[in-house]
Amino acid sequence: MEITLALIKPHVVRNTVALRHLLDLIKDNFQVLESKEVHITKQLSEKFYAEHKGKFFYNRLTTFMGSGPSYALILQSADSIAKWRSLMGPTKVYKAIYSNPDCIRALYGLSDTRNACHGSDSTESAMKEISILFPEFNMTEALNAEDQKR
């Protein structure tokens, strides 16, 4: 079993129908270990997106993420990183619309910044991002609990 972070962006959280659809999709595909609505402050956004600092979209992204609440979830399943990234679809919304019209970003993304959701791209990123948005989450305890189930 693998753990990943899913983050639903502010414009989708404001759309209650879209949010409900995504939460149902998530529950059908993953075990949700933790979830919460989170207001991503400028400081939190800068920490979360630190690897993008200096890129042309960085200020637009960190400002947008503070425009309203987001919804963060810790997901678990076999190959959860790849599975969540597949459900999200391509990062670029125009590509998602043409190559995978049923994916989350094609359905709810508005632009490359407002692309509906975020997902960790590796185990290392997942651990880092979860620790930022869920500092109270005990990763070791969660992984040990999974080992004991086997």
Please give the annotated binding residues, written as ranges: 9, 57, 85, 91, 105, 115
CA gap 18, 52 in Å, rounded: 28
Q: Which helix (H) or strand (E) holds 68?
A: none
Backbone torsions φ then ψ of 36, nearest 5 degrees: -170, 155
Q: Residues annotated in the binding site for ATP, as ranges?
A: 9, 57, 85, 91, 105, 115
The first and second tokens of residue 109, run together, are: 């993304």
> Catalytic residue numbers?
118
CA gap 18, 108 in Å, rounded: 7
CA gap 7, 9 in Å, rounded: 6
